[in-house]
Amino acid sequence: MVISKADQALLNKKGISVEQFAEQLKSFKTGFPYLKIDAAATVGKGVLAPSAEEITACLQVWDDYCKEGNSIVKFVPASGAASRMFKDLFAFLSAEYDAPETNFEKNFFANIDKFAFYGELDEICSKNNSASVKELIAAGNYKAVVFNLLDFTGMNYGSLPKGLLKFHSYEDDVRTAAEEHFVEGAMYAAMGSKVRLHFTVSPNHKALFEALVAERKPVYEKMFGIEYEISFSEQKQSTDTVAADAQNEPFRENGALVFRPGGHGALIENLNDIDADVIFIKNIDNVVPDRLKADTVTYKKLLAGILVGLQKKAFGYLQLIDSGKYTHEQVQEMIHFVQQSLMCRNLDIKDMEDCELVLYLRKKLNRPMRVCGMVKNVGEPGGGPFLAYNPDNTVSLQILESSQIDMNNAEAKAMFENGTHFNPVDLVCAVKNYKGEKFDLPSYVDKNTGFISHKSKNGRELKAMELPGLWNGAMSDWSTVFVEVPLITFNPVKTVNDLLRDVHQ
């Protein structure tokens, strides 16, 4: 492979080494192996279903932890554009017909005044077309309404990120998705009178997010009597991946290498830059109005309470190991904790010498930890909780996507299809060791869990590579615990019409 001066300059600009570049190209040729799974995680077998008494106890654990001066951050991936939310409306704009014909289009226009953005849309239509939304609809000018919603000359919703879209209406206000995270942060992630929020954003939208914060942060500080510390980061260019052609050679345009964003797995670098004891992670579009927030708050605190409770035990065992003053009974207790509480099994543990066993236990106890909410599977596409084999031949809990499982293997396919739970991206993470030192999160990534997709660009086949997903392979070597949470805590907005569902009204 010949690397030109222009190639080297581009690699240098992105912060990608020649070795990383060669490794990426090699992955296109070798592909990524399927993961071997042991079973789908279910209640009683990897998924906890706490009783009412246990929930109450965990909520108290979390409330006490928040009073101890520990550092907490709410981390919200918010860099994606909302264009996919409006694909049906984009299709309507380019359709040969002018009045709504599909059920989606009819539902959108029949309930248009129920959207939180309706008031602003009405003003824009009056300004740009000298007619209100309802007047345009009455005149059959449906496309003008959609154009004003999506185009940059109107509200520009076709290009903005989800975080900046108006999601919910209140008696005297409307809130964007980002603002709902401001509110959630105050409800379960406050350290005394301070709430720290971190949004990952695209460079194109950072100034807009900063403007929103400048305008709206004082409103919520007054509402909750707290102080917000809100920060932003962008996906690092060093996490971009090179595109390949059909022959697995670098894809080029006008002689230049083509790179693509590495997917949400790239955000492990952003997460690694956060200095906090506990980090909440939740997608930007999974929010509800205040009237429905109680369950979300309860179960977020539950996950966090379970996390810090398990972490406290792990820290105690690590201090014991490092002191060298432990008994046989205490070692057995540690084995039970790793196997039963952290659900990490090693089939070879019975053959280990004492020294080897203690080193193994220390390794499994001394790593990042996450507690993940799981909802019952209702047919949503996406990943779920499984017991899977790791490179070191241990079996532990993992969040897996269908692309990671060999669907030609009947047994593996049946395990995936019979999974009882779904991953709503509802995580609480502990990222420091018992000495208060940060773990280096990228070193816990399983690089063999990436993914190659086939696309086309200007009529040419293009292969794109995504890095191990943030909550999949990027956290593969973390201690992981799954907890069943109610479906009401999972309310994503995949299309604009999802905002018409009762949970968003």
Query: Which residues share a beta bridge with 314?
Result: none
Residue 354 pLDDT grade (very low, low, confident, very high; cuts 50, 70, 90): confident
- Radius of gyration of the CA atoms of the chain, in A: 25
pTM value is 0.94
Distance CA 64, CA 33 (A): 44
Instruction: Average the pLDDT over 443-462 and give the result.
Output: 87
Report the percent of the chain where pLDDT is more than 70.
99
Best CA proximity match to 102, nearest among 157, 116, 110, 135: 110
> Is 3.90.550 the CATH classification of the domain at 5-79+194-504?
yes
**Residue 1, pLDDT score:** 64
Residue type, 19: E
Domain ranges of the chain: 5-79+194-504, 86-160
Reply yes or no on whether the pLDDT at 380 is more than 70.
no
Instruction: Average the pLDDT over 154-161 and give the result.
Output: 96
Instruction: Average the pLDDT over 267-295 and give the result.
Output: 97
Residue 381 pLDDT grade (very low, low, confident, very high; cuts 50, 70, 90): low
**Residue 2, pLDDT score:** 74
Contacts of the segment 310-318: beta carbons below 8 A, 24+ positions apart = 310/341, 310/342, 310/369, 310/371, 310/479, 310/481, 311/369, 311/430, 313/337, 313/341, 314/342, 314/365, 314/366, 314/369, 314/434, 314/479, 315/434, 317/361, 317/365, 318/362, 318/365, 318/366, 318/433, 318/434
**Residue 323, pLDDT score:** 94
- Write the DSSP string, 251-305: PEETTEE-EE---GGGGHHHHHT---SEEEEE-TT----GGGHHHHHHHHHHHHH
Best CA proximity match to 220, nearest among 188, 175, 189: 175
